Structures are given as structure tokens and as C-alpha cells.
A and B are shown apart, each in its own frame.
Chain A
Amino acid sequence: MDSDISTGFTTDQSFDAFEDDGYDDLDTNSVVSVVAEEPLSYEVPYTSLSHEQLKQRFVSSVNQIQNLCGLSHEVAELLLIHNKFNIEWLGERYLDNPARTLQSIGLDLKYADYSFAPRLLPAPPNFLCAICCDDATYPVTFALPCGHRYCASCFKTYLRMRVSEGDIRLNCCLNSECRFPITDSVYKLLLSPSDYNRYRDQLIKLYVNCLPYLKWCIYPDCTYAVECKVNQADLDHIIPTVECNDGHKFCFGCSNEEHAPCICRLFAKWNKKCADDSETANWINVHTKGCPKCQATIEKNGGCNHMLCRKCGHEWCWVCSGPWSEHGTAYYNCSRYDEKSGQEARDQQAKSKASLERYLHYYNRYANHLESARLDKKLYLRTQKKMTDLQNSTSMTWIEVQYLANASDVLQHCRRTLMWTYAFAFYLERNNNTHIFENNQQDLELAVEKLSEMFERNTSELATKRLELLDMTSYVSTRRSLLLKDTQLGLLEGRWKYNLSN
């Protein structure tokens, strides 16, 4: 291992899972921490919440309002839903004017601590349900305290439909003029257990969607939510990467994949640019030239070198880009490549091409890491096989071969970071700070490629080079950490200057 690599080591507070694995007597320089105990400067505080925890939070917010305003649990819940779960605002609003606040959900002041024990009743004599107008004998009917009685099945059908369509904010009595709200106990009575659970789940969904500091994990079918108190206004100098308890990393700021060290704004800009023109730009780059006079893009799909621009009428030579007037009859041979006039025209073209090439430079590297990250995923699956092989062919235990899984994780993570360093660098102005950023980027890239290479070795070699791989893994992690730390510091200091004209 060369000296350059050891500069990245922090041997103090070193701690990892391998310290007590029989290698204690080895050079301490080579056993390095992978997991930092203290929060890093580029990380934001956040909590991952399970469905169960969300439910508890929801209930405790309801309790808070219930106690603060002296309401029944059901009424407090309804008010909270209706006021987008904003406890502070609702509390103030209620204490300020209880009657009007209750009115907003269709309740009279006398119902503030109303606790409803809803019951189904047999149909009274001469009852005709105004909803279904069925004059058969009714087994059961239902009415809210407002007294508008309909058959229970009409109530059920309506509620089930509202819940299945996600209309759960405020449902009320079926009478066209009555606004008496349907509370939790009524849902519970009238809906089937599975529909009722669905209703409760939708409430939790609404709860998370309404609160700006809660967000669902962006991965499909993941049920975790994350709490993170980051201001939308701070996203220019904070990149709130969070991880749910299922190990999914994403950006809390813009609900997209993890994209540190690129800030959300540039992440969006870059994605748009890539979606807009990467492929087109590639094609244009390869197949066309700009007219030396008006820069119109011209594709030569056959014929001789004598070009006539359809836009400005300029006649020029495809080979040397000089004016055609100097070429005479040399339709298929250009002997004037080095003449001055052609040189100037080519300079002009080169200029307009340069910005395109600059973009392609960054894009290709970005895309390369994207592709490598994909390949690394395959590698990860192979790793698992290698780990089993190692366990079988050597005396290593399961816990001892975990270093391969760890190395693979680090590799993937760093590739992702590298990807976004290129998108970030694309928007940076050329200056000394950018130069430093690119040095850090280069260091990380070199380290990542080295680790990737080590990973490709066969099983027996992996076993003997275990320490080397461990060292490299931690070195790569450290390099990533350094890069992110410095970028974060730069963001806070306003050190990075952007060139957004691209």
C-alpha cells in the first residue's frame, strides 16, 4: 500500500467489528474505522418510523388536542384531520373560538366532548329509506345524532365507496343539507373489519402527507416513513440524505434517490438536461456540423463536400469548413485544410462544440458510474456466493467473511456519490475551489476503481488478501467522507460558484 493511501486514515477512535477477531497484534495502521460514531457534518438528524410508530404518533397528537381543548377523542381526531394535523394552529384556533372551529366540521358546541356509541336499530313503522327507496321490510337502520335515518346498508355502501376512493377527510350524514360528521366509532360500526383497517391506514397516509417534516420512503412497497426537520429554504446548502429502517437511502429534500454531493436544485437541473438532450446531443455531435456562418446544424447524408446552408445561404466546404469560393471545382477533395479562412471557421465551430463536449465529458463519467453501480449490484450477488465459498474452503466463520459484503456496500455507495460529483462539477465555475473539489473527486475515483479491481479476484486470493481489502474499503469510505465533508463545508461557506447557463 503506498503512502498516499495511508494519509486518509484516522487511526484514533478506530473501532470495528473485526477488532477481536484474532488480528489484534497487527499493525494498528491497517485496522480502521468504517463506521463513525458521531454524526458527520454532512449528515442531517432524522428518524425512521414504522407504521406502528406512526400510529402511536397520530394517537398522541389526538390526545394532545383532546387534553388541550377538552374534547372527546373522536371529535379531537376529526378536528385534527380537518386542520391538516397542525396541532399548534388548531389549538390556537380552538381556544380562540371553539364554536366556529367545531362548526367547521359540522358540529355544535354541545357536541365538543361527544362520545358516540352508535347503534343499529330496527326500522320504525312506515319507514321508507330516502336513499334506496326500497319498500321491503328493513332489518336495520342507522342514524347519526342528527336523526336522519336511512337503512344501514345504504350508509355502509356509501361509506365503503368513500373509503375505497380515499375520500376520508370529512364524511358526513347522507342528508343533503345536514353536515353532521361521521366519526371513528361510526366507521368502526358500519365498515367491515378489513375496510375499517383500510380507513385507519388511509388516515395514517394522510397524516404523513400533510406534515412537511414527515415523508414516506420513496421505494416502492416500503412502509417506513422518515421524520426530518429540514427547511425547504435550506436545501441550497444542505443535502438531507436519509435512510429508512429498511435500508433505503433517499433525499428528504426532493424525495428522490440519494444524490450527495449534488444539491437538490442542481440534481433536478441535471436530470432535466440529461432527459432533454444527452442522446440527441450524442447523435448531433457525431453526425452533424454547424454552418460556419450561422451555426445552423447540418447533417451531411451524402453528396459532395460543397455545402449550401439552407438557412443563411452560405456555401462552405464540409471538410475544412472554409468558404466554398476558395475551392473551385474540387468537389470531392479538399486541399485547403490549413488555409487561414478555413481555420477561422473551424475555430467558430469548435467554440460552439466545446460546450457540448464539456457536457458530454461530465455526462459520460456520470453515466459510467451509473452503469458500474448496476454492475456492482450483480457483483454483490456474486459476493454472497464467494462468502459461502470462503466459509467452506477456509476456517473462516460467517461473521469473518462479512467484510466482503461490507466492501460491496461501500463500493456501491461510493459509485453513487461519484456519479453525482460529476453532475455537481458540471455546474461549477472553473476556479481554484473547483480544482480542489475535482482533486477530491479524483482521489475517490482512483480508490473506488482499485477496490473494484480487488473485488474481482478469485476466492482463494480474496482469503489471503483479506486485510488488504479491509484497508482499501476503509480508505475508500474515508475518501468519500472527506469529499462530502469538504463539499458540505463549501456549501455552508458559499464557496461554490455555479455556472447555470448550461
Chain B
Amino acid sequence: MPNPLCLNRLQQERKDWRKDHPFGFWAKPQKNPDGSLNLMKWNVGIPGKKDTKWEGAVFPVTLTFPEEYPSRPPACHFPAGFYHPNIYPSGKVCLSLVNEGESWKPAIRVKEIVLGIQELLDDPNPRSPAQEKAYHDFVRNKDLYNKKVKEQVKRYIS
């Protein structure tokens, strides 16, 4: 049973999100097999930023909240194999905002997390690469990198 502190906060997050959230995004807790909501795991959709090569698609991300949330950050995953310099082959996002011991603070909201991830898409951080392929393309062969990003965007246009 998840601790009540964590559930309280997640319920509030859910309420706040429904009241107001950034345009083009969506976020909802997953469903348990019995149809009830699993607040510990959310599916969210993050749109590529306007006027960037990521525009046009909405990328699926899973937020997994630990028992110790909000003292600890949620783990954020794209689908495995997602092409981006700061996303591990497993799909895990490497972003200081959601890294424990880096910039994570208990007061950071889901809204800020998803906006942070959206920002990361077109503004990768070459100082902390998480996958070899996209990182090498990004620093050595920008044309190839752009081409692959566009291919990926096409795959996620619904």
C-alpha cells in the first residue's frame, strides 16, 4: 500500500492538472486490472515544441512515482529505443530536473516535469549523453541527426 502522503499529493496533482494544464499535453494515471486508478503510474503525452523539428507529434512518456515521492522524483520513460542524446536505451530520461541528488525538489509539479522534458527534446545536453547513437550523430553529423529526428517524429504523428 503506497504511503498516504504520496497519494495525497498525487491526487492533488491530478486535480490541478484537470483544472489547468499546458496546451497540447495530456496526462492520466494508469488503470489497475480492476478498473481503479493507479496513481503511482501516469501516462503522459508530450507534444514537440512549435517551430522545432519535433513539432507535429505527441510523444508518450510514463511517469513512475516512487513510494518516497515527493521526496524522491518520479522516473520518466519514453518507449525503449527512443532516439535522443539524453535518453537511455531503456527509454529513461536523463534530466537534472528529475534526477535525485541534482535539481529535484519536492515542490516540483508534474506540469514542470513535462514542460522540462518538452524543453529537453529540442535542446539536448551534450554534457550528459545517455545513448551513444544519437549523441554521436548530434555532435558529429547534425544532418544525419536531424534526418533521424524527423523520421522519428513521423512515426509518432497520430
Contact = CB atoms under 8 A, between A and B. Distances in A.
Interface of A: 130-134, 148, 150, 154, 157-158, 161, 165, 167, 174-176
A58 to B, nearest CB: 23
22 contacts: A130-B107, A131-B70, A131-B106, A131-B107, A132-B9, A132-B70, A133-B11, A133-B12, A133-B13, A134-B8, A150-B107, A154-B5, A154-B106, A157-B71, A158-B106, A165-B101, A174-B105, A174-B106, A175-B105, A175-B107, A176-B107, A176-B108
B9 A133 contact: yes
A143 to B, nearest CB: 12
B68 interface: yes
Contact of B68 (A148, A150, A161): A161
A154 B11 CA distance: 17
Using C-beta atoms within 8 Å of the partner chain, give the interface range for chain B. 10 to 19
Contacts of A174: 105-107
A161 B101 contact: no
Contacts, number: 39
Given A154-B106, A161-B72, A132 B101 contact: no
Contacts of A130: 107
A167 B101 contact: yes
A151 to B, nearest CB: 10
Contacts of A148: 107
A132 B8 contact: yes
Contacts of B9: 131-133
B126 to A, nearest CB: 25
Nearest to A131: B106
A176 B71 contact: no
Interface in B1-34: 5, 8-9, 11-13
Nearest to B5: A132
Contacts of B109: 176
A123 to B, nearest CB: 15
B151 interface: no
A176 B70 CA distance: 12
A20 B101 CA distance: 63
A130, A150, A175 interface centre (most CB from chain B within 10 Å): A130
A133 B7 CA distance: 9
B112 interface: yes
B68 A134 contact: no
A378 to B, nearest CB: 47
Given A130-B107, A133-B9, A174-B106, 11 more contacts: A131-B9, A131-B70, A132-B5, A133-B12, A133-B13, A134-B8, A154-B106, A167-B101, A174-B105, A175-B105, A176-B107
Nearest to A159: B71
A176 B12 CA distance: 17
B101 A176 contact: no
Given A131-B107, A176-B107, A161 B12 contact: no
Nearest to A175: B107
Please give me the 3 A-B residue pairs with the lowest Cβ-Cβ distance, nearest first.
A133-B12, A176-B108, A133-B9
Contacts of A154: 5, 106
A131 B8 CA distance: 9
Interface in B72-126: 72, 101, 105-109, 112
A94 to B, nearest CB: 26
Contacts of B68: 161
B112 A133 contact: no
B97 to A, nearest CB: 9
Contacts of A165: 101
Contacts of A175: 105, 107
A447 to B, nearest CB: 55
Contacts of B108: 176
A363 B116 CA distance: 59
A176 B110 CA distance: 12
Nearest to B104: A176
A124 B101 CA distance: 31
Contact of A176 (B8, B13, B72, B112): B112
A52 B5 CA distance: 39
Given A154-B106, A174-B105, A133 B72 contact: no
A162 to B, nearest CB: 8
A61 B101 CA distance: 27
A447 B61 CA distance: 74
B105 A176 contact: yes
A161 B71 contact: yes
Contacts of A167: 101
Given A167-B101, A176-B112, A158 B12 contact: no
A161 B106 CA distance: 12
A247 to B, nearest CB: 37
B136 to A, nearest CB: 32
Contacts of B11: 133
A148 to B, nearest CB: 8
Contacts of B5: 132, 134, 154, 157
A66 B55 CA distance: 54
Nearest to A166: B101
A144 to B, nearest CB: 13
Nearest to A169: B101
A385 to B, nearest CB: 53
Nearest to A171: B105
Nearest to B108: A176
Interface in B41-75: 68, 70-72
A134 B7 CA distance: 9
B54 to A, nearest CB: 24
